[in-house]
């Protein structure tokens, strides 16, 4: 039974959270004197915008030494080498990630390639005896994600997923408040991302020859063979790569951002998978050549509560003043949570007090540097051989929830999901999308 708390206790809880977070990580890894012999030697596979961001984070950590970088696009590779050179780090470079994995001196790899490469690279890295930090979403299909979990267990590897919010101090405190029943019984959770790219989106570039320095066939890898298109590749200096809006390589905003949000919901609510999923929407107004919808609403049924995810790409009006976020609706209060902090609004209708106290707020994610803390967790787990805070199993179940919504949208059907066996009941059309074929010669074998 959930315990009942009043407005005063809510305020006290928020004050304690703020005080506890005032001195974040007083003994951070930056203050540690880590001997070179205790450093983890890393290779980076994928050095685009996300890869270079992670490269800086891991370079700042004294427990890691970057020895190699790999990318099929020479300009990305050059940027990574320049970044390391500016930090007085010398690293070897590769176009073929398999050559990097063959090196006996590399202990771990960071995989920041396009999503459709994550499963194959992660499994092969485990087979090569490397620990793995892999970006989310971990896979394009549910079956691929399960194989990644199997590989981590079979080869006894530490596999951390880049859902770095779990290492954020205020996310941890917020999740614990939910687990402790401080909001009462939660019957509904809402998540969302809002933006406006109307009407042209990313445009409609024609198919063309690939740019100099790009091995397009290798970039496609296990995905179907198609002509080069600027948006399918998507690399540009002023945006995140647009490959994420094509089904062959990713799952749109549902998997790109939905994983971050739904991961926190499943963590805080202590659930692993939904019972039913239904998603509806469409590509209604955006005129670019993307596959994924510009408007989507996904509804999930979990034991005891419902969850919704909403994405608008044609209207940026925020929900309750926030362009993205999570709201937990409990019988005793509501919690809003995002990367800047959390806020609790107590249920006060009983005594007529409708004031909205701000329980706790941080001015930005860098205040508690969850990216760095996530790398620190990875380092500690490599040394201890314990499971990381974003273990591949949790990364898989959070990714799978988002993939299921895309399957529902693409088939126009409500899914009844058997999470224990990771199958969809009585829906052959949807079941086909739980896995995908790999283009020869690539194979995903554990």
Separation between Cα atoms, residue 193 and residue 160, nearest integer Å: 25
Q: Using an 8 Å Cβ cutoff, are 387 and 133 in contact?
A: no
CA-based nearest residue to 142, from 292, 273, 28: 273
Residue 139: pLDDT over 70? yes
Domains of the chain: 29-165 (3.40.50.720), 168-367+392-434 (3.30.360.10)
Residue-wise pLDDT for 274-298, tens only, equals 999 999 999 999 999 999 999 999 9
> Which secondary-structure segment (H or E) carries 116?
none
Question: What is the DSSP pairing of strand 295-302 with strand 305-312?
Answer: antiparallel
Q: Going by DSSP bridges, is the β-strand pair 305-312/186-196 parallel, antiparallel, or unpaired?
A: parallel
| Residue 227: both structure tokens together | 């002509």
On whether the CB atoms of residues 137 and 121 are closer than 8 A, the answer is: no
Q: What is the pLDDT of residue 358?
A: 43
Q: What is the pLDDT of residues 27-57, one digit of tens each?
A: 444 567 889 999 999 999 999 999 999 999 9
- Mean pLDDT for the chain overall: 91
Omega of the bond leading into 172 within 30 degrees of 0 (cis): no
Quick check: 351 pLDDT over 90? no
For tokens 């399960």, the residue is: 146
Closest CA to 330 of 445, 185, 442: 185
* 73 secondary structure, DSSP code: B
C-alpha of 33 from chain center = 31
Sheet of strand 40-45, all strands in order from the earlier edge strand to the far edge: 92-94, 64-70, 40-45, 108-111, 131-134, 159-161
Structure token digits, residue 351? 């005594």
CA dist., res. 29 & res. 63, Å (int): 8
Residues present in the chain in total: 446
Q: Residue 321: which region, alpha, beta or left (left: phi > 0; alpha: psi -120 to 50)?
A: left
Q: Strand pairing partners for 391?
A: 160
pLDDT tens for 385-440 read 999 999 999 999 999 999 999 999 999 999 999 999 999 999 999 999 999 999 99
pTM exceeds 0.95: no
Q: How many CA atoms lie within 13 A of 380 on its CB side?
A: 14
The total of other beta-carbon atoms located within 10 Å of residue 363's CB is 8
């Amino acid at each position: 039974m959930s315990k009942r708390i009043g407005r005063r206790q809510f305020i006290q809880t928020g004050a304690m959270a703020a005080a506890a977070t005032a001195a974040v990580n007083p003994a951070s890894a930056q203050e540690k004197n880590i001997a070179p012999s205790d450093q983890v030697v890393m290779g980076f596979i994928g050095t685009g915008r996300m890869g270079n961001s992670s490269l800086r984070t891991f370079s700042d950590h004294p427990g890691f030494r970057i020895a190699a970088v790999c990318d099929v696009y020479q300009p990305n590779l050059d940027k990574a080498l320049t970044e390391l050179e500016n930090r007085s780090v010398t690293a070897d470079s590769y176009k073929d990630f398999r050559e990097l994995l063959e090196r006996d001196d590399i202990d771990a790899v960071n995989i920041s390639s396009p999503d459709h490469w994550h499963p194959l690279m992660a499994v092969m890295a485990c087979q090569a005896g490397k620990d793995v930090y892999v970006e989310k979403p971990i896979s394009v299909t549910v079956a691929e994600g399960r194989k990644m979990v199997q590989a981590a267990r079979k080869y006894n590897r530490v596999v951390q997923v880049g859902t770095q919010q779990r290492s954020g101090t205020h996310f941890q405190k917020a999740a614990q408040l939910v687990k402790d029943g401080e909001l009462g019984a939660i019957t509904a959770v809402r998540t969302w991302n809002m933006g406006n790219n109307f009407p042209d989106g990313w445009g409609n570039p024609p198919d063309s020859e690939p740019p100099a320095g790009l091995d397009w066939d290798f970039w496609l890898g296990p995905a179907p063979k198609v002509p080069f298109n600027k948006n399918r590749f998507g690399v540009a200096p002023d945006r995140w790569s647009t490959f994420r809006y094509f089904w062959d390589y990713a799952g749109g905003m549902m998997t790109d951002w939905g994983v971050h949000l739904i991961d926190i919901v499943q963590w805080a609510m202590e659930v692993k998978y939904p019972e039913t999923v239904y998603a509806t929407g469409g590509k209604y107004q955006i005129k670019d050549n993307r596959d994924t919808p510009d408007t989507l609403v996904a509804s999930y049924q979990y034991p005891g509560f419902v969850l919704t995810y909403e994405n608008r790409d044609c209207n940026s009006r925020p929900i309750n003043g926030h362009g993205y976020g999570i709201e937990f609706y409990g019988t005793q209060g509501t919690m809003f949570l995002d990367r800047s902090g959390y806020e609790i609004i107590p249920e006060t209708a009983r005594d007529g007090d409708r004031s909205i106290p701000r329980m706790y707020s941080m001015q930005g994610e860098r205040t508690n540097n969850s990216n760095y803390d996530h790398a620190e967790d990875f380092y500690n787990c490599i040394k201890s051989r314990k499971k990381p805070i974003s273990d591949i199993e949790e990364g898989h179940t959070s990714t799978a929830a988002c993939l299921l919504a895309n399957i529902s949208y693409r088939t126009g059907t409500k899914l009844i999901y058997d999470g224990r066996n990771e199958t969809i009941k009585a829906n052959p059309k949807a079941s086909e999308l739980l896995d995908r074929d790999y283009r020869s010669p690539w194979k995903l074998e554990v």
